Amino acid sequence: MTEPGFLDIISFGPDGWGPALAAGAWMTILIAIAGFAIGGLIGTFGAWAKISGGPVVRGCAEAYTTVLRGIPDLLVIYLFYFGGSAVVTAVGQLFGAEGFVSFPGFIAGALAVGITSGAQQTEVYRGAFRAVHPGELEAATACGMGRLLKSRRIIAPLTLRYALPGLGNVWQVVLKESALVSVTGVVELLRQAQIGAGSTSRPFDFFFIAAMIYLAISTVSGLVLQVTERRFSRGVRRG
């Protein structure tokens, strides 16, 4: 029997691994998007806490960013998965369930990635807000803008403009962190490559394909970010 070639492995035919790898890539994107969105919500509130919160709120925000940036991301995923499983198992036993009840791996992974990226996005948003010139905020106040209107029309757009480059870096980190979620049983791109490598004894081919897919996703993300930056920078003179 002829050994399948590289093109046969990545094909979408009956014996190809193309559909499985595409499904793994889609799962990777879903995890990254979910984690990034969760991190965005946390980062927004974290930045507000550090900028406008009282001493206790600022202290909690500082503790959050310090702890989460100092703990390995894989450890955070383990804590969410096994901690969540312990809670779900205890609740299940109250309703008569027996044995170990697993916490959904996708939810655990998305929450863990979101919590870790939230610490990074907190600092990105905080730095972006500090980059807004005070005179622009004073001009909005002088025009009679209320707090909500000023936030919607001045603070949010300008902060996002300055935050976009940093958010792009955070997205790339989140994309790579999604590979760690495979420890919860989620079959994302890297896990699918491991399965294919073990099934065909062609580890280099599968991991090379996975690297190319990650690079393609990263490249497309970078192009989207560039378009978004240009859109938010319309009317801004570049030096």
Q: What percent of the chain has pLDDT over 70?
A: 96
- Across the chain, mean pLDDT equals 88
Residues 203-216: pLDDT tens digits? 898 999 999 999 99
Please say if the pLDDT value at position 118 is more than 60.
yes
Residues 187-203: pLDDT tens digits? 999 999 999 988 888 88
Q: Are 15 and 4 in contact (CB under 8 A)?
A: yes
Residues 35-66: pLDDT tens digits? 999 999 999 999 999 998 889 999 999 999 99
Please say if the pLDDT value at position 239 is more than 70.
no
Residue listed under structure tokens 């029309």 = 153
d(CA 44, CA 136): 21
| Encoded amino acid at 232, one letter | F
Instruction: Give the helix ranges, DSSP H, for 71-133.
Output: 73-94, 105-131
* Assigned token pair, 164: 């976009």
Cα–Cα distance list, 215 to 20, 175, 218 (Å): 18, 10, 5
Please say if the pLDDT value at position 18 is more than 70.
yes
d(CA 203, CA 201): 6
d(CA 89, CA 99): 7
* Assigned token pair, 152: 């919607």
Q: What is the mean pLDDT of residues 11-32?
A: 90
* Assigned token pair, 78: 């383990």
Map out the domains of the chain with their CATH numbers: 6-232 (1.10.3720.10)
Confidence of residue 238 (pLDDT cuts 50, 70, 90): low
| Least confident residue range of 13-17, 83-87, 110-114, 218-222 | 13-17
Among 117, 155, 116, which Cα is nearest to 136's? 155
Q: Are 133 and 141 in contact (CB under 8 A)?
A: no
Among 207, 127, 219, which Cα is nearest to 175's? 219
